[in-house]
Structures are given as C-alpha cells and as structure tokens.
Chain A
C-alpha cells in the first residue's frame, strides 16, 4: 500500500505487466478492508455498542458489494472505450482506486472517531455536523481514489481514457449511493429507535426517490 501511495506509476507498470495479479489484488483488498473497517467503526462510535461493530462490518461490505455489482459494466465500458485489458487487470485497477479511497478514509478515521465520540447524542445538529465532516472526508478520499484510477487506466491504455474514467466514476457513484441507502443507518439515525439494522427497512425505498422527496419538501416550504 505504501508503494502504491508513493510510487503509483511504478506499481501499476509492475503489476499490470503480468506478475501476480491474484496476489496483488488480494493485498489491495486487504488494505482496503482495513481502511474501510476503521472508517466504519469511527462512524459507528457516535452511537456506540453494537452499532459500532455493525458499521465496521458494513463499510467494507459497501465497497466490495458495490464493486461486485458494477464490475461487469466497468469492464465492458473499458473495452468499449478502447482499453484492451483482461478482467484481472481491470479488477486490479478498480481495486487500487478503492484501496486508496479506503486508506485515505482510514487515515481520517481517528479524527472522525474523536469528534463522533464527543458529539452530543441524540442531537440533530451533531448528526448534521458529522454528516458534513464525513462528506468532506469522503470527497477528499474520492478524489485521491479517482486520481489513482486515472493512473491505472493510463498504465493500461497509454493515455487516460477520460470517457472511461468518467463512466466508471458515474457507475460506481450511482450504484454506491443506493448501496449506502440499503445498508443505512451509518452515523446514527437509528438512535436506538428502530434497532441497529434491518434489511427489510434497508430494501424499502430508493436513494434517488428519497433525495427527490426531500427536495420537494424544501421547495414546498419555500413556496
């Protein structure tokens, strides 16, 4: 992981030119799981108890399940965009981007853990503050991950296929938002009211419809 952070081009050149893709993928996955679990635990510390454990498990699951759902489309899109890659190579590039994202989130997790543990509960202001903090960290981590994805695609293709990169980000973002919705709550909307997690509750509704409803409510309040 240190090599990927410090010498990404060299890493991609070595890993994608044959080598041991399965081993490298497993290592990347391990690094990603640790980072994501730390971030999930830091989020869950706001509510504490079982919620902490659940979010620590849910966060790596969120990344892995989203990739599992999107991988076929991502690979097809890469091929359609002119990137002549084997599935193992596409997986390695995608995993490296996700691992960097998770590692950055993991690096922020002690800071989030401190603020989440100290934030009053139950309090809507605390929830919104933590939500904003998580979004900012997520944006920073996402940028770092996207930068590594671009480097990986460049190593595969010679130059960065921008349309493929944009497509990958869009697909992952689109599916990831719904995955996050299904696996909710994250920071603490449960507050012990509806239990820590319920799959049937997660599967009701849709992220985009939910956002639309909130926007509609705001517009009705303003008019």
Chain B
C-alpha cells in the first residue's frame, strides 16, 4: 500500500559519512499503522469499534483529513453507548436487577456527559497551545477516546461480572476499587490512542499539530474528575436504592462512603 500522506520526517538523526541526514527510523507501530486499511463509508457503523483496535492508522489519517466525521462520530457514539450500557448493568448487578437497569442507563450519561462538559476546554486549550484541530476534530477526538475506553470496559465486563456475583457483605470496597481500576485502564487506553495519533500525524505533518501532548495529559485528569463528579451526582450506581438521589456532595465523600 502506498502512503496516503507523503513521508516527511520531523526530526533528523546524526549525519552519515556522506554528510547527509538520513530520516529518523519509524517505530514499528508506525510502520504497522502505515499498512492499516479501513473504509468508513462501507455499511456497519459498529465496524468503527474494530477499526479502533485494528486499523488505528487509517482512523488517524481519516481524522486528519476530516473524512466522514459524521459517520465516525455516530459509530463512536454507538460503540460507547453499547459498551457503557453493558458495563453499567454489571456495576449495578451487585445490588439486584433494578439497580442494574438504573446503572445501565446512567453510565452512558456519565461517560458521554463528561466528554461534552470537557470538550470546550479541550478545544480552547489545544488551540491556545499551538495545536490546530478544528472543532469537529476536537469533538471527534473526544468521542474516539470515549469509544476506545468503552471497548476496554466492555472487554473487562465478563471478569468484573464474575467478581460481582461472588461478592459478600462487607467486601464492596473491593468491587469499588476494581471498577476504578477498570475505568482508569480504559481511559488510559483511550488517551494512549490519541497520543499515538498525535505522534503519527506529527511525523507526516511536522507543522500541523492535531493535538498537544501536555494538554492531553492535563485534560484527561480533568475528564476523570468530572466523570467522578457526574457519577457521584447521578448516583447511586452500586447501592440498592432509588434511581436518582440528587444529593449535593463532592465525589470524594461518596467515594470514601463507598469504600467504607
């Protein structure tokens, strides 16, 4: 396959004997990404989920060229919704079927709502610090992160479900920590994917930054805090009880209470 983006190395290594500067060698993952192929316009929006795992290079190129952003956005939205619905049901399953349904409805709101809340700051700070994403690219980047994280939580769901059904009184703290671990790993995967897309695009377009690495790192911390607060506000997710308490409190107090 020929490179859709002409190869222009951003950084050069030491000059060779002839005095010319050879291009920096591409890491193995970039060579893999160069070979990735995926056609977004073929039917089946759920295929976006597969592309996020198997054809990240093509997704990055499509993101750069803003190819079919609406289809990508819809695909990511569906993947995120399905994955978080399933994982939410498992979170609530420890407290019975009623709470399982409630949590299944709430978790997509937490994940996508936090993305929407953090999107303006993501876009403005990317622009301020020298990245050049359009608003559509920034929104799609956020959705890609949510979808990638969704894939990981969906993959972890059977294991977490297994632990949920074998829980006994007084050991809920273990489940809380397990959920926190899964969510952090999932978001970590999402941010890793975005960071690689940033590096991939940077190699081919040295003067065009799609995302700013430092903003990504800081933003993900803010995203996690906002998601924790959203979850606390929309809670309870794990306790048996009503659908929505609407209790005004900081997420830390809810977290400490859950651990107790």
Contacts and interface: CB of A to CB of B under 8 A. Distances in A.
Decide if A and B are genuine partners: yes
Interface of A: 2, 5-6, 100, 103-104, 106-111, 113-115, 117-121, 126, 129, 144, 147
SS class of chain B's interface: helix, strand, loop or mixed?
helix
- In this complex, which of B116, B222, B226, B250 has the most chain A Cβ atoms within 10 angstroms of its Cβ? B250
Given A5-B127, A107-B121, A107-B124, A114 B250 contact: no
A2 B127 contact: yes
Interface stretch (B14-22, B89-97, B152-160, B229-237): B229-237
Contact of B127 (A6, A111, A147): A6
A114 B230 contact: yes
B120 interface: yes
Contacts of B135: 2
Contact of B120 (A110, A126, A129): A110
A117 to B, nearest CB: 8
A106 B232 CA distance: 24
Interface string B120-158: 110111011000100100000000000000000000000
Contacts of B132: 6
A104 B128 contact: yes
B248 interface: yes
A111 B122 CA distance: 11
A115 B125 CA distance: 20
B233 A118 contact: yes
Interface residues of B, number: 22
Contact of A111 (B121, B232, B249): B121
B120 A114 contact: no
B248 A111 contact: no
Given A107-B123, A110-B118, A118 B128 contact: no
Contacts of A118: 229, 232-233, 248-251
B248 A5 contact: no
A114 B124 contact: no
B11 interface: no
Contacts of B230: 114
A118 B123 CA distance: 25
Contacts of A113: 117
Contacts of B222: 111
A211 to B, nearest CB: 27
28 contacts: A2-B127, A2-B135, A5-B124, A5-B128, A6-B132, A103-B124, A104-B128, A107-B120, A107-B124, A108-B121, A110-B118, A110-B120, A111-B118, A111-B222, A113-B117, A114-B117, A114-B229, A114-B233, A115-B229, A117-B248, A118-B229, A118-B232, A118-B248, A118-B251, A119-B250, A120-B248, A126-B250, A147-B128
B250 A106 contact: no
